[in-house]
Amino acid sequence: MKARVSWNRPRRSRRRRYLLGIEYFFLLLGLIALDCYIWVNTSSTLYQAYQDWAFDQTLRGLTPSIGGFVEEEFSWFKSRPITSQPAAEPNQASAPLREEKEPRHSMVLGRLEIPRLRVKAMVREGADESTLQRAVGHIPGTALPGNIGNVALAGHRDTFFRGLRNIQKNDAIDLKTEDGTYRYVVQSTKIVGPRDVGVLAASTGETLTLVTCYPFYYIGSAPKRFIVRATQVAANPLPQPQRGS
């Protein structure tokens, strides 16, 4: 009887060490996943904060810089006011009209706001993964804000477009650019398949289409797309430079 007990003890000890090793392994994986999640969300938040500040600086005719952003964010440590250097006056001969602009990939186009849902995110040109990790993306080939056609924007359902799950008809959507502010009102929402590109088709009016994955709480790659369709109801364009003036 004693021999049987002594024989089982090493086996139980090995099993305990094996289970403990598995436990530590999954704990390590969990910590790595948590670190990645924190890094992605922190970098996105910092990027959005800087781009939001820089966009406002540009609209006021000031020159944004990372140093100025850091100084202003921590200005409560100091008693002196923060000042920014005004940007140089643009050369009218080299300033293109809004219709002639062709945005570069990853270029900041403006800021999207849905006041009721408290959604606010910068908009960049492009719909690739690197762009959508940091901002809402303008889908290439669709209209630009302020032009006739369908302005299509894409965003991740678990970051910048998380609030779309609560969007309703008649909600206001503001798209603020360096050329002016454009207000849209939601007309409808629908769910489509990932290959239904008809939602991106050009229109004869001034419309806005928001695209994100669906279902919102789906784990993994979501199989469908959630579409928000809105029409422009107001525009406040800034004066454009005139040729030959």
Q: Is 156 a catalytic residue?
A: yes
Domain boundary among 45, 79, 113: 79
On whether both 129 and 70 belong to a single domain, the answer is: no
Give the per-residue pLDDT at 150: 96
On whether both 68 and 151 belong to a single domain, the answer is: no
In a domain, 43, yes or no: yes
Domain boundary among 79, 94, 122: 79
In a domain, 89, yes or no: no
Number of domains in the chain: 2
In a domain, 232, yes or no: yes
Q: Where are the beta strands (DSSP E) in the chain?
A: 108-114, 119-125, 136-138, 149-154, 172-177, 180-192, 206-214, 224-237
Among 245, 243, 203, smallest CA distance to 100 is for 243
On whether both 40 and 135 belong to a single domain, the answer is: no
Q: Is 138 a catalytic residue?
A: no
Helix/strand/coil for 99: helix
In a domain, 95, yes or no: no
On whether both 69 and 110 belong to a single domain, the answer is: no
Beta bridge partners of 170: none
238 phi and psi angles, rounded to 5 deg? -80, 155
On whether both 165 and 115 belong to a single domain, the answer is: yes
12 phi and psi angles, rounded to 5 deg? -65, -35
Contacts of 226 (CB under 8 A, 6+ apart): 157, 164, 165, 189, 190, 191, 211, 212, 213, 214, 216
On whether both 224 and 122 belong to a single domain, the answer is: yes
In a domain, 87, yes or no: no
pLDDT of 70 > 70? The answer is no
Among 76, 97, 92, 88, smallest CA distance to 146 is for 97
Give the per-residue pLDDT at 239: 58
Q: Cα–Cα distance between 147 and 172 in angstroms, integer?
A: 19
On whether both 61 and 125 belong to a single domain, the answer is: no
Catalytic-labelled residue, pool 36, 105, 138, 156: 156
On whether both 229 and 116 belong to a single domain, the answer is: yes
Over pLDDT 70: what percentage of the chain?
63
Task: Please give the residue range of the domain that contains residue 193.
Answer: 104-237
On whether both 128 and 177 belong to a single domain, the answer is: yes
On whether both 75 and 144 belong to a single domain, the answer is: no
pLDDT of 243 > 70? The answer is no
Give the per-residue pLDDT at 226: 96
Domain boundary among 37, 62, 79: 79
Instruction: Tell me which residue has tokens 């695209």.
Output: 211
pLDDT tens column, 75-123: 544 444 444 444 334 343 333 444 446 788 889 999 999 999 999 999 9
Asked if the peptide bond before residue 215 counts as cis, ω within 30 degrees of 0, the response is: yes
On whether both 145 and 25 belong to a single domain, the answer is: no
What's the burial of 105, exposed, middle or buried (CB within 10 Å: 0-12/13-18/19+)?
exposed
Q: Cα–Cα distance between 62 and 65 in angstroms, integer?
A: 10
On whether both 26 and 120 belong to a single domain, the answer is: no
